[in-house]
Amino acid sequence: MIDTTFWDRIARKYAKSTIANIPAYEQTLDHVRRHLRATDTVLEVGCGTGSTALLLAPSVARYKGTDFSSEMIAIAREKLADTPLDGLTFDVSAATLDTTADQSQDVVLALNLYHLVPDIAAALNAAHRSLRPGGLLISKSPCLAGKWYLRPIIKIMQLVGKAPYLRYLSIKDYDAAIKAAGFDIVETALYSPKTPNRFVVARKR
């Protein structure tokens, strides 16, 4: 049984938090936009409170933001009610995308998600299954394998419910997991030198 407690609890606080590195975020959005076409159907996984979805949805025909936290999705829907946008919807869904039809998406987007998912292979396989042949998985994930000093701090925070599950990915393992799920990596980038947030554009084989 998937546990959404941590994310449900912090959703309202998360919605109020500010973006740590705005230039890196804007560069990330620009990079994603370069791969979007006006006719595309896009699925965002782990969309949080929908901020990115609201910015990217005008570039495509249909955009669905999903998150396993119903609290995050409730906030995303409130934002959408304040700023209605044609073609944008939000739904509760885990990264395993159990209700997403096979080969129904042109692009799957996952920002700051896969390092938080215990079964990363299942999540990447789900993204692959839901994409049409040649469709794109665009993801950005902190690769924290080298940040050994964080481990004891995070462990204590997890024990007291102040941090979620966290995978200490290396860039090598992350890329390997994407390829093993059936993708060819076509572009990579790093937009925040202080945090190794690996940005990857991968095409479904």
Ligand X SMILES: C[S@@+](CC[C@H](N)C(=O)[O-])C[C@H]1O[C@@H](n2cnc3c(N)ncnc32)[C@H](O)[C@@H]1O
- One of 72, 107, 120, 124 touching ligand X (CB under 6 A): 72
Q: Which residues contact 67 (CB under 8 A, 6 or more apart)?
A: 7, 45, 46, 47, 48, 73, 76, 90, 92, 93
DSSP string, the chain: ----HHHHHHHHHHHHPPPS-HHHHHHHHHHHHTT--TT-EEEEES-TTSHHHHHHGGGSSEEEEEES-HHHHHHHHHHHHHS--TTEEEEE--TT-TTSPTT-EEEEEEES-GGG-S-HHHHHHHHHHHEEEEEEEEEEEE--TT-TTHHHHHHHHHHTTSS-------HHHHHHHHHHTTEEEEEEEE--TTS-EEEEEEEE-
Member of 7, 114, 183, 191 binding ligand X (CB under 6 A): 7
Q: Which is nearer to ligand X, 7 or 191 (CB)?
A: 7
112 binds ligand X (CB under 6 A): yes
Q: Count of residues binding ligand X (CB under 6 A)?
A: 15
Min CB(168)–ligand X separation in Å: 15
Single out the residue of 24, 117, 200, 202 in contact with ligand X (rule: CB under 6 A): 117
Residues of this chain, 164-193, that bind ligand X according to CB under 6 A: none
Q: Of 100-108, 110-118, 130-138, 185-193, which part binds ligand X (CB under 6 A)?
A: 110-118
Q: For the residues of 18-29, what is the DSSP string, one character each? A: PPS-HHHHHHHH
Q: How far is the CB of 194 from ligand X (least distance, A)?
A: 17
Min CB(12)–ligand X separation in Å: 12
Whichever of 86 and 98 has its CB closer to ligand X, that residue is 98
* 95 is a contact residue toward ligand X (CB under 6 A): yes
In the complex, residue closest to ligand X by CB: 48
- Told to check if 111 binds ligand X by CB under 6 A, we report yes
Residues 32-71 interacting with ligand X (rule: CB under 6 A): 46-48, 67-69
Interaction of residue 113 with ligand X, rule CB under 6 A: yes
Return residues touching ligand X (CB under 6 A): 7, 46-48, 67-69, 72, 94-95, 111-113, 116-117
